[in-house]
Structure 1
Amino acid sequence: MLNELIDKRKVVLQQSEEHKEKRNELNALASTYARERNQLNAQTRECVDEAQKNKELRDEANNSVHTLKAERNVLNDKANVLFEDIDAFKKEHGGISNNRGIKELHKQIERLEMEQQTKVFSPEKERELIEKIKQLRAGIKDQEDEIEQNKEIHAKLQEARDLRKEASDLHAKVTESAELAQKHHDLMVECYRKADKSREAADESHKKFVEAQEAADEEHNKFIACQKEIRDYDKVIGGLRKKTRKTKVTKEQKAVRKEAEQVFQQFRAGEKLTTDDILLLQRSKLL
């Protein structure tokens, strides 16, 4: 029975080592997934922060667009008032009445420039639009050249031109700010896309981390159970060994007692005892 228990203990000990080794492997794997998850989460935060920065820059550029547009519109309105006076002067003094007025031509240019800024055209359509704006500007110049010969409204025309120039400069800034706003918007969208991608990867790594950690915990519980079973075997085996040793000592003591009694009978019969015989009698407490 003792040998059978020892063999069973060896089997449980082997299982214990296997569970311990598997637990350590799974813990190492869980740590790897945790590092990956943490790195991806950090990457996600960086992308979100970068997206937020681009969002703020986009909003700043859009605010600039609104401010510049308002300033440009004020200048155009002032210029339009002057050009209305000039057109009225043309009609009154026999100007080219069949042609569209300068104010109307400017408005058409503004509309075409807005379309150029906000719509997507094919290269051919883009060239046609640019050519149309060029023709309208040429028409304005022809009319202005004709009107400029009259000194009465020369100063008014010059003021209107200056206002248009300022408005045109502001329009260029509007376009620049609008392009900048679009650039930062695109960067913001790209950053959020990257953040979503890294967040998904982080979630997957976290899922694998949890699975590995749970499996490691299960192996650890099995290892603990094996250790408890080994301790139980040790108690039983230790008890049996102690009992076996005690039984062996008792048998030896009985044999010595029996031998000592035989020597004692020889002593009582007057036979001569050896030193070993005397020691045997003393050990058996018969002498």
Structure 2
Amino acid sequence: MFIPSEDSTPSFKGFTLIAPAVSVGNVGQLAADLIISTLNMPRVGHFHTDCLVPMAGNNPYSSSAADGADQLSTNAEVYSHSGLRLVVLQIRTPVLQTKVKSFRKLLVSWIKSSGFSRTVLLSSSHAFHRDDQQLHGAALRYLLSPALQDAGDTLRELGWTELERVSAFPGINDSEKRLYIPGGGVTKGLYTDCCTESVPLAVVLLFCSEGDNVPDAFTLTNHLNDWLHLVEKPVSAHLEKQQGSIPWRVPSSWRLLFGSGIPPLIY
């Protein structure tokens, strides 16, 4: 259940919700970090649930005590930007295998009760599972629930490709197709639930592999920004060449993504 940071519960009616799926390479979570950090989004609440692996730590977006670095962070927190009418739910730990359906039900219930105009699920899928048709073009794919089909024209104008269905029985019966998102965590199940519950949902995913997935996170957020216009692009070609397409601000906690370096004393 959602627990607000203040005494009163904020209204999210008509807002856009962005949430990551805990998937291969943690690309969705890294992308959510970039959005929260760049927009300097304040925390407005957290999720209290037994469906996620427990976790507690320092504020991942601050670097000093004066900046709130000593603020306790948990496994599922909600950040908001009222000017952009945007909410980001950051999920930092995996969903327990025995609680996957319960978590999906909880999330869909909160989305519906909050009155979000649309929900964008950031996800990823194993690159080595792509079939021949998925090897063409960019690694970005999208899915839209029936309640958000109106956004399809805009996404196609951006050059995005809808996630292809693959053969359920390759080489035996290629006419029967299925939705296949290996490594996508709750992505497929949540998409199916939102289709059934008439929830406006867009899944934006990237084919990737495990490793240093920071570049994948930048790729995903840049594509998302082309659609939602969260951050302005550099006005000059010179700045764009220096800073890249978008000047995303990396959270201070990313310094610990790969731990400390190799101690020289071992040599």
Fold-level similarity (TM above 0.5): no
Greater helix fraction, Structure 1 or Structure 2: 1
Tell me: higher relative CO, structure 1 or 2? Use CA pairs within 8 A at least 6 residues apart: 1
Scaled to the shorter chain, the TM-score interval is under 0.3
TM-score (norm 1): 0.20
Which of these two proteins has the greater Rg computed from alpha carbons? 1
